[in-house]
């Protein structure tokens, strides 16, 4: 106890001496603890009485019960028992009970007299003694006459939360004048920081110092004037801080950040509250602890098991319970996953501390499964109690039944659990009224409860005090309670159980499993369902849940739906994922926006909703020329020479610091509506000035990692496609500046084996080589020379105008070996990262190109394009001891010309090689590429010493093309002759793939009339099949302005690299990464799987008959309109027909525009459409444009107007969707006359006949005005008046902070979002300025119905603010709005003032604005400040009533603010 508590207790003691008293204080401040302390000091026996809303006056005094012989009798209530025995009666919840119910205690409190329902009278002791003496009666005689004395020690203590000043009628203003006279009131304030520290240190020694940051944080929340922040502080009461202190004392390694998030249930906080919580945590320097777990600890943390009578969940252990009977122990099928095990370990820690648990989560996340598995592991018996909207206090504790004509009260699961020491699981706690569930408070807090039949549950420690009573149930020491609840509000329509009783439980948020955990769990439910299908579902539903969190959709689709779909696919594998997904989302077909959102999400993740089995678009196959032998290679015999070899140890010099950050990929599946070679794509996070330099793929055992390096500035993106995330590393400080003429030319090499995942980055101009580990974000320079040599090279490079670049031979990088050489130099450096050495080999000539045919065999080309083979020899330690060089003589065959060959890494397997050259052969080989051939194969190279045959697939010479017809970058031949970045060899499929610009593609490949808006084409050369395909690559989203720089990298707009699975990666200049599948067998397998996803389609089949109509087009026209609506097929007479010509319709040709008359569509072939003459197409387009302009003219909207409106609408489209979800979730608010059930008086409820027979009291109903249940439909629309500021200051300062544009965007948001919601909301938009206070912009009776009308509103706002007089009528505008809005009958009234904060200029004080906002009690008026100079808005907000004002300097925040405004009244009592 603190000094404050001592002084407060002394005040209570004084009040106790003269009268009954009541304590008012916020939830969790210690009211119950102080009263119990006082009772213990004075030796009182306490009678706790939980008050609830439906409690009647009779319940306070007496209850009717049935005796064993069938007779009924009156049973005294705990209050009467306390009066007779001199106990301390604690009325907990004065603020909840109806004031009229408490009125029956007036005489008991003031006069100490009470007349009971059975005629019994209770008298004050002195009056009782007076009657006894006057009448000469004994105590026994008075007792026979029903007269009893009230014990002089009897006292009543009330506990309540303080009333809210300014609140409407109801629970928050419960303190009426009548109640004010009944008690002596004491206000118990929350403890200050010093007092709270003292309490924590006393109850949990040693915890105060550890909790100092938390205490500072909590008290900063409590002192805030922001209602959002204050609502957070209510979750961190002293009771909750004690729970945190005990937890941290037992588990000191845990994080304060996690403890706060857990106590506040941060996972389910609204966005603004969550943001406020994180901001205050950051200011208090309470940060999330970084995970330093080792791999062994992680493995242990995600497993559980029972061994030797010990249960281990993660790293927490406890003894397994040994029940008397295992019948009630849950036994369920449970598939463990990391997320659920983490929750269970957290639950176990609190369970071991003796806490009762509350699990809150969305519907279907597995709360019941987690609890049942938790109890199964603990071997604890379970009692189950499911609540509902009609649950009463009596049903919660007892279940009355009739047996042999007698009423028997059977114990509810709650009572049985208390008696037997079982764990009570209370499910759907949010569905029962909070005034019912609040009776659990005394049971959880103090272990006491009064049952409906008069029995009393007491804590084990108090058993001795009640040993003489026969109606006492002693709580079993093993009793625990686990409560399950959905999060409050829409779409689950439950009560805020956490807000009412959350601080008496240890709270846990249960969420859907993370993606990897969910996939692992689904694999156990559907072992035969393809993993790829599960991953598509998991990623799609993860996106939908994120949208629900952002407010874009209302329902947070849970794991339950995914599990059901996987189980369905497991049982019916041929049905197809599309049909199964459709079964889940059929309900959303009625909401077009939600439907589009879901379909787009499914498409993004490759679930082809809406696709047909014949929606396949693959590149046309062309025949590849037959292979011909073009040259013979021979090694010169007897002319071997040894090259000098020197070696030097490599040194890694780590760079001091590199900025890095992780980001999520927005990966989109490209096969969502059509099957193509492209699998998926996403954009890396790069600036428009960045230039994509190279791409490489680390080939892992199961998953590939993509590395993209960019220039200007230099940066590295490491992408994990399967995880859909990436790591960005800024290498600006690592490489020399790109200012001036220096343009770095980069090559990236993926490493393998023990260095898998790491890369080598080489810069050709400065010859800088760096070793980079993206996992650890470390960058180290590989130094192969001494410091002085390196310095000399650097200086020479800086001051030399022209210098041959350094090249790198990357063919063996997966073996961690590569070669560095300089064009024309006699020296080459073989870098072997396996042994940490660099070998310098001196050649007898200057090399123009070095290529690695194998780890120990390299092909060197001199300046005259003569080839040489170098063979190295190593000792046992891996050191190169010798290097032999042999001339590789090349002899052309026939008319073949000597070609410049580029060696490709890898070789063809025997079967593919045999198909490629048309001979059955097994031999070493290497693929090559050159300018005059599609590809070549060197048979026998590099291992055979005999004659090597080179077979080529000759290419026709490229036709001369004018620069104007080339691609927009106008790229000529590449400057580099060694362009592996645009060539990829796929050994598994025997394909060579090249990235070509459009102008290099044969003209017959490109369809006539196509826009050719592509990055280029992938030329797929299938050596085994002798086929050739050209796959178009979509155009980049943006093009770099650095054309000449791009010319140095590639002659196309993309760079490419092969993947592990035989696929391909491309990256275009806009930073779009695309994954491709080109192998024929791979495509066939994927197409079968794609069609399998579609399953059987029950839609009408489309029959396609290929035939020519034989009818030419003449010219576009509108045609006749058939008033009968009959369908018309073919012809050119009727408008709205199908399969015809010239007239508007569907499926025809030559018509000016589309016109749907609602008939089945007959489609003419694409060939006939393509055959339409250009002049007819042009005329049709012109007529279509004319019709569009006429439509705009109908609504008086020019093309310029359409563009102007789109400028505003596009900025808030996302917010409009979010706001519509909010509007969908709004519920009825106004009180309505309706039947109130479970009453003790009124009309007999025919649904309660059985309850009446067994003696239930609440079997009547009566008509009352009461608050609708959550989710009730609105009978009347809500009314909103948006008051916008169109004063001169909005126009004047718009250039400074865009306030006028934000106001116009907000108006667009409201007008578009409220369209089609006229039944739920009627709104007006009015403006105010120096000209007046009631400028009508939108009237509720005539809301704008099209974009033109909405644009006129915006034009009026803009023009008025430009030409109005100076001045301000903000006060008059808000007063008029608040007064006028109530003229219409509505469910609720909202007035929102949208203004800048420039009010002090006109002498408008915050006090006057506050008075105007609160002038009408039933109008919810708020102010949103969207513009401010300095801290004007902050000052205004501090001086306005809490919760009535918001600062919103970004339009994106307005939907969340409106959501806060609309929902602020839903949780308020009527």
Q: What is the pLDDT of residue 157?
A: 95
Q: Is 765 helix (H, G, I), strand (E, B) or coil?
A: coil
Q: What is the pLDDT of residue 35?
A: 93
Range with the lowest mean pLDDT among 167-171, 441-445, 728-732? 167-171
Q: What is the pLDDT of residue 494?
A: 62
Helices (H), 153-211: 177-180, 193-203
CA pair distance 1076, 994, nearest whole angstrom? 13
CA pair distance 813, 778, nearest whole angstrom? 19
CA pair distance 693, 749, nearest whole angstrom? 12
Q: What is the pLDDT of residue 826?
A: 92
pLDDT category of residue 1470 using cuts at 50, 70 and 90: very low
Of residues 902 and 570, the one with the higher pLDDT is 570
Q: Is 941 helix (H, G, I), strand (E, B) or coil?
A: coil
pLDDT category of residue 1192 using cuts at 50, 70 and 90: very low
Residue 547 burial (CB count, 10 A): 22
pLDDT category of residue 716 using cuts at 50, 70 and 90: very high
What is the arithmetic mean of pLDDT over 707-729? Answer: 89
Name which of 473, 469, 438 is nearest 459 in CA terms: 473
Name which of 309, 310, 303 is nearest 344 in CA terms: 303
pLDDT digits (tens, 9 = 90+) for 49-59: 888 777 777 77
Q: What is the pLDDT of residue 1286?
A: 86
pLDDT digits (tens, 9 = 90+) for 720-748: 988 888 999 988 888 765 555 567 888 99
Q: 472-474 and 456-458: which strand pairing? A: parallel
What is the arithmetic mean of pLDDT over 273-295? Answer: 74
Residue 159: CB partners within 8 Å, gap ≥ 6? Answer: 22, 23, 31, 32, 35, 90, 91, 92, 93, 94
Taking 70 as the threshold, does the pLDDT of residue 92 lie above it?
yes
Whether the Cβ atoms of residue 424 and residue 412 lie closer than 8 Å to each other = no
Name which of 1412, 1389, 1416, 1417 is nearest 1399 in CA terms: 1412
What is the arithmetic mean of pLDDT over 397-421? Answer: 78
User: How many Å separate Cα 75 from the centre of its chain?
Assistant: 55
CA pair distance 994, 928, nearest whole angstrom? 12
Q: Is 878 helix (H, G, I), strand (E, B) or coil?
A: coil
Range with the lowest mean pLDDT among 45-54, 620-629, 860-869? 45-54
* Beta-strand runs (E) in 1306-1451: 1321-1329, 1332-1338, 1389-1396, 1419-1427, 1445-1447
pLDDT digits (tens, 9 = 90+) for 756-811: 889 999 988 888 899 999 988 889 998 876 544 554 455 544 544 456 788 888 88
Q: Is 284 helix (H, G, I), strand (E, B) or coil?
A: coil
pLDDT digits (tens, 9 = 90+) for 334-373: 888 888 888 999 999 999 999 999 998 888 888 899 999 9
Residue 1208 burial class via C-beta count within 10 angstroms: exposed 0-12, middle 13-18, buried 19 and up: buried
Taking 80 as the threshold, does the pLDDT of residue 899 lie above it?
no
What is the arithmetic mean of pLDDT over 78-87? Answer: 91
Query: What average pLDDT does the structure give for the chain?
Result: 80
Residue 526 burial (CB count, 10 A): 20
Q: What is the DSSP string of 417-450?
A: HHHHTPEEEEE-TTTS-HHHHTTHHHHHHHS-EE
Taking 60 as the threshold, does the pLDDT of residue 296 lie above it?
no
Q: What is the pLDDT of residue 1469?
A: 36
Show the CA angle centred on residue 79, arms to residues 74 and 84, nearest 5°.
85
Show the CA angle centred on residue 541, arms to residues 540 and 545, nearest 5°.
125
Range with the lowest mean pLDDT among 273-277, 384-388, 1373-1377? 273-277
Q: What is the DSSP string of 285-330?
A: T--PPP----HHHHHHHT-EEEETTEEEETTEEEEPP--S--TTS-
What is the arithmetic mean of pLDDT over 1172-1185? Answer: 65
Per cent of the chain over pLDDT 70 is: 80
Residue 740 burial (CB count, 10 A): 7
pLDDT category of residue 1195 using cuts at 50, 70 and 90: very low
pLDDT digits (tens, 9 = 90+) for 636-686: 876 678 999 998 998 888 876 788 888 888 888 998 888 999 999 999 988
CA pair distance 1002, 955, nearest whole angstrom? 11
pLDDT digits (tens, 9 = 90+) for 915-936: 999 889 899 999 998 888 899 9
* Own/partner long-range contacts of 70-78 (Cβ < 8 Å, ≥24 apart): 70/405, 70/406, 72/1255, 74/116, 74/117, 74/118, 74/120, 75/453, 75/454, 76/116, 77/49, 78/47, 78/48, 78/49, 78/450, 78/456
Range with the lowest mean pLDDT among 259-268, 306-315, 701-710, 1232-1241? 1232-1241
- Helical (H) or strand (E) element with 1127: none
Phi, psi for 685 (deg, rounded to 5)? -85, 95
CA pair distance 1452, 1459, nearest whole angstrom? 12
Q: What is the pLDDT of residue 1078?
A: 92
Taking 80 as the threshold, does the pLDDT of residue 387 lie above it?
yes
Show the CA angle centred on residue 541, arms to residues 304 and 428, nearest 5°.
65
Taking 90 as the threshold, does the pLDDT of residue 152 lie above it?
yes
Range with the lowest mean pLDDT among 944-948, 1193-1197, 1296-1300, 1397-1401? 1193-1197
What is the arithmetic mean of pLDDT over 364-391? Answer: 89
Q: What is the pLDDT of residue 294?
A: 44
What is the arithmetic mean of pLDDT over 19-45? Answer: 89
Highest mean pLDDT among 425-439, 484-498, 911-925, 1161-1175: 911-925
Highest mean pLDDT among 304-308, 967-971, 1229-1233, 1435-1439: 304-308
Phi, psi for 248 (deg, rounded to 5)? -70, -30
What is the arithmetic mean of pLDDT over 1304-1333? Answer: 85
Whether the Cβ atoms of residue 1119 and residue 1133 lie closer than 8 Å to each other = yes
Distances (CA, A) of 982 to 979, 993, 1006: 6, 8, 21
Q: What is the pLDDT of residue 277?
A: 85
Q: What is the pLDDT of residue 695?
A: 92
Residues in the chain: 1470
pLDDT digits (tens, 9 = 90+) for 525-540: 999 998 888 888 988 8
pLDDT digits (tens, 9 = 90+) for 1423-1467: 888 766 666 777 777 777 666 778 877 766 766 677 667 665 543
Whether the Cβ atoms of residue 913 and residue 925 lie closer than 8 Å to each other = yes
Range with the lowest mean pLDDT among 112-126, 600-614, 669-683? 600-614
CA pair distance 1223, 1390, nearest whole angstrom? 14
Q: What is the pLDDT of residue 320?
A: 92
CA pair distance 336, 353, nearest whole angstrom? 24
Q: What is the pLDDT of residue 357?
A: 93
Q: 1145-1146 and 1137-1138: which strand pairing? A: parallel
Taking 70 as the threshold, does the pLDDT of residue 417 lie above it?
yes
Taking 90 as the threshold, does the pLDDT of residue 706 lie above it?
yes
What is the arithmetic mean of pLDDT over 1269-1295? Answer: 75
Per cent of the chain over pLDDT 90 is: 21
Of residues 1295 and 121, the one with the higher pLDDT is 121
pLDDT category of residue 967 using cuts at 50, 70 and 90: very low
Q: What is the pLDDT of residue 1105?
A: 44
Q: What is the pLDDT of residue 1031?
A: 92
Taking 90 as the threshold, does the pLDDT of residue 1019 lie above it?
yes
């Amino acid at each position: 106890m603190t000094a404050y508590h001592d002084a407060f207790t002394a005040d209570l003691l004084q009040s106790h001496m003269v009268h009954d008293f009541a304590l008012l204080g916020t939830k969790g401040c210690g009211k119950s603890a102080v009263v119990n302390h006082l009772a213990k000091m004075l030796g009182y026996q306490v009678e706790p009485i939980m008050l609830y809303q439906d409690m009647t006056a009779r319940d306070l005094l007496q209850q009717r019960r049935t005796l064993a012989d069938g007779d009924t009798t009156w049973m005294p209530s705990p209050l009467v028992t306390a009066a007779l025995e001199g106990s301390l009666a604690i009325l907990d919840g004065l603020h909840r009970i109806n004031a009229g119910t408490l009125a029956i205690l007036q005489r008991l409190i003031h006069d100490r007299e009470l007349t009971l329902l059975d005629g019994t009278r209770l008298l004050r002791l002195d009056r009782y003694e007076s009657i006894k003496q006057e009448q000469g009666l004994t105590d026994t005689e008075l007792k026979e006459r029903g007269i009893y004395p009230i014990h002089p020690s009897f006292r009543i203590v009330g506990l309540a939360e303080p009333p809210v000043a300014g609140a409407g009628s109801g629970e928050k203003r419960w303190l009426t004048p009548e109640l004010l006279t009944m008690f002596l009131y004491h206000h118990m304030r929350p403890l200050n920081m010093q007092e709270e520290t003292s309490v924590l240190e006393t109850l949990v020694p040693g915890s105060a110092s550890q909790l100092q940051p938390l205490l500072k944080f909590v008290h900063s929340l409590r002192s805030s004037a922001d209602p959002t922040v204050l609502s957070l502080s209510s979750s961190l009461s002293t009771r909750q801080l004690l729970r945190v202190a005990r937890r941290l004392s037992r588990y000191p390694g845990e994080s304060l950040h996690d403890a706060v998030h857990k106590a506040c249930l941060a996972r389910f906080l609204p966005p603004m509250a969550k943001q406020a919580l994180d901001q205050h945590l950051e200011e208090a320097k309470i940060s999330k602890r970084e995970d330093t777990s080792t791999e062994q600890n992680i493995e242990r943390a995600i497993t559980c098991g029972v061994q030797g009578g010990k249960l281990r969940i993660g790293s927490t252990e406890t003894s397994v319970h040994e029940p008397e009977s295992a019948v009630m122990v849950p036994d369920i099928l449970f598939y463990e996953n990391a997320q659920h095990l983490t929750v269970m370990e957290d639950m176990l820690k609190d369970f071991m501390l003796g806490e009762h648990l509350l699990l809150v989560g969305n519907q279907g996340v597995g709360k019941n499964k987690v609890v049942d598995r938790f109890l199964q592991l603990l071997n604890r018996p379970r009692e189950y109690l499911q609540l509902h909207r009609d649950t009463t206090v009596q049903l919660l504790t007892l279940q009355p039944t009739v047996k042999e004509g007698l009423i028997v009260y059977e114990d509810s699961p709650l009572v049985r659990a208390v008696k037997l020491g079982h764990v009570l699981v209370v499910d759907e706690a949010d569905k029962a009224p909070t005034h019912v569930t609040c009776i659990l408070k005394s049971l959880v807090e103090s272990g006491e409860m009064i049952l409906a039949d008069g029995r009393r549950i007491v804590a084990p420690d108090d058993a001795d005090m009640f040993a003489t009573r026969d109606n006492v149930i002693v709580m079993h020491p093993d009793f625990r309670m686990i409560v399950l609840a959905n999060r409050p509000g829409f779409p689950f329509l439950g009560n805020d159980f956490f807000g009412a009783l959350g601080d008496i439980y240890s709270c846990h948020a249960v969420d859907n499993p993370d993606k990897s955990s969910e996939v692992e769990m689904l694999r156990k439910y559907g072992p035969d369902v393809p993993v790829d299908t599960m991953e598509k579902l998991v990623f799609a539903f993860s996106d939908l849940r994120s949208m629900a969190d952002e407010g874009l959709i209302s329902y947070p689709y849970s794991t339950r739906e995914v599990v059901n779909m996987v189980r369905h696919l497991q049982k019916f594998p041929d049905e197809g994922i599309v049909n199964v997904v459709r079964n889940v989302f059929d309900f959303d077909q009625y909401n077009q926006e939600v439907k589009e959102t879901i379909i787009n999400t499914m498409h993004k993740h490759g679930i082809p909703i809406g696709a047909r089995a014949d929606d396949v678009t693959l590149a046309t196959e062309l025949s590849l020329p037959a292979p011909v032998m073009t040259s013979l290679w021979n090694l010169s015999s007897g002319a071997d020479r040894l090259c000098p070899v020197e070696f030097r140890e490599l040194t890694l010099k780590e760079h001091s610091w590199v900025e890095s950050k992780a980001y999520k990929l927005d990966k989109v599946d490209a096969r969502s509506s059509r099957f193509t070679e492209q699998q998926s794509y996403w954009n890396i996070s790069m600036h428009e000035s960045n230039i994509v330099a190279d791409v490489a793929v680390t080939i892992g055992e199961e998953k590939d990692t993509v590395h993209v390096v960019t220039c200007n500035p230099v940066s590295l993106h490491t992408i994990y496609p399967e995880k859909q995330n990436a790591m960005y590393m800024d290498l600006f400080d690592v490489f020399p500046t790109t200012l001036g003429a220096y343009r770095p030319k980069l090559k990236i090499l993926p490493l393998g084996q023990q260095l898998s995942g790491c890369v080598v980055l080489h810069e050709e101009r400065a010859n800088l080589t760096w070793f980079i580990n993206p996992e650890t974000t470390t960058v180290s320079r590989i130094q192969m020379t001494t410091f002085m040599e390196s310095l000399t090279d650097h200086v020479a490079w800086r001051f030399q105008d022209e210098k041959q670049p350094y090249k790198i031979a990357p063919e063996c990088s997966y073996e961690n070996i590569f070669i560095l050489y300089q064009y024309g130099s006699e020296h080459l450096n073989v870098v072997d990262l396996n042994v940490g050495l660099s070998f310098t080999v001196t050649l007898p000539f200057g090399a123009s190109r070095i290529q690695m045919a194998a780890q120990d065999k390299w092909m060197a080309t001199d300046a005259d394009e003569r080839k040489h083979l170098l063979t190295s020899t190593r000792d046992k330690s891996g050191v190169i001891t010798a290097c032999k060089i042999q001339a590789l003589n090349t002899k052309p065959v026939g008319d073949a010309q000597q070609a410049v060959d580029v060696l490709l890494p890898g070789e063809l397997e025997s079967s593919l090689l045999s198909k490629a050259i048309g001979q059955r052969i097994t031999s070493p080989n290497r693929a090559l590429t050159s300018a005059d051939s599609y590809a070549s194969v060197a048979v026998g190279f590099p291992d055979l010493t005999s004659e090597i045959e080179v077979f080529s697939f000759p290419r026709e010479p490229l036709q001369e093309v004018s620069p104007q017809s080339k691609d927009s970058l106008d790229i000529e031949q590449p400057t580099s002759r060694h362009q592996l970045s645009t060539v990829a060899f796929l050994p598994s499929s025997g394909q060579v793939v090249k990235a070509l610009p459009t102008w290099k593609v044969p003209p017959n490949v490109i369809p006539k009339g196509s826009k050719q808006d592509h990055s280029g084409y992938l030329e797929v050369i299938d050596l085994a099949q002798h086929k050739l395909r050209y796959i178009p690559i979509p155009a980049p989203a943006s093009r770099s302005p650095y054309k000449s720089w791009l010319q140095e990298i590639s002659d196309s707009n993309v760079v490419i690299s092969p993947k592990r699975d035989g696929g391909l990666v491309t990256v275009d200049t806009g930073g779009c990464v695309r994954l491709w599948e080109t192998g024929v067998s791979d495509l066939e397998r994927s197409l079968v799987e794609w069609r399998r996803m579609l399953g059987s389609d029950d839609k009408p089949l489309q029959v396609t008959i290929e035939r020519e109509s034989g009818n030419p087009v003449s010219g576009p026209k509108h045609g006749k309109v058939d008033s009968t609506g009959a369908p018309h097929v073919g012809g050119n007479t009727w408008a709205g027909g199908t399969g015809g010509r010239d007239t508007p319709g569907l499926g025809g040709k030559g018509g000016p525009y589309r016109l749907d008359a609602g008939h089945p569509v007959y489609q003419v072939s694409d060939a006939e459409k393509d055959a339409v003459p250009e002049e007819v197409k042009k005329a049709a387009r012109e007529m279509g444009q004319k019709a569009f302009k006429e439509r705009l003219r109908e609504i008086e909207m020019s093309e310029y107007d359409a563009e102007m409106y789109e400028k505003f609408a596009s900025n808030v489209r996302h917010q409009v969707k979010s706001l519509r979800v909010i509007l969908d979730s709004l519920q009825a608010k106004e009180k309505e006359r309706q039947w109130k059930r479970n009453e003790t008086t009124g009309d007999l409820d025919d649904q309660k006949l059985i309850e009446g027979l067994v003696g239930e009291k609440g079997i009547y109903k009566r008509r009352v005005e009461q608050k609708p249940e959550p989710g009730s439909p609105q009978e009347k629309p809500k009314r909103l008046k948006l008051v916008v500021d169109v004063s001169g200051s909005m126009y004047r300062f718009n250039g400074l902070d865009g306030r006028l544009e934000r106001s116009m965007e907000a108006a667009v948001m409201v007008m578009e979002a409220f369209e089609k919601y006229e039944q739920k909301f009627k709104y007006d938009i009015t403006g105010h300025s120096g000209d007046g206070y009631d400028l009508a912009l939108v009237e509720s009776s005539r809301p704008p119905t099209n974009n033109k009308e909405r644009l006129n509103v915006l034009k009026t706002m803009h023009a008025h603010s430009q030409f109005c007089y100076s001045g301000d009528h903000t006060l008059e505008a808000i007063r008029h709005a608040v007064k006028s809005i109530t003229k219409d009958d509505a469910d609720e009234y909202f007035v929102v003032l949208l203004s800048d904060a420039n009010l002090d200029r006109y002498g408008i004080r915050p006090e006057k604005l506050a008075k105007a906002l609160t002038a009408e009690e039933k109008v919810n008026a708020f102010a949103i400040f969207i513009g401010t100079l300095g801290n004007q808005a902050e000052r205004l907000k501090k001086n306005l009533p809490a919760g009535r004002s918001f600062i919103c300097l970004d339009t994106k925040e307005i939907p969340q603010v409106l959501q806060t405004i609309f929902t602020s009244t839903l949780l308020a009592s009527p």
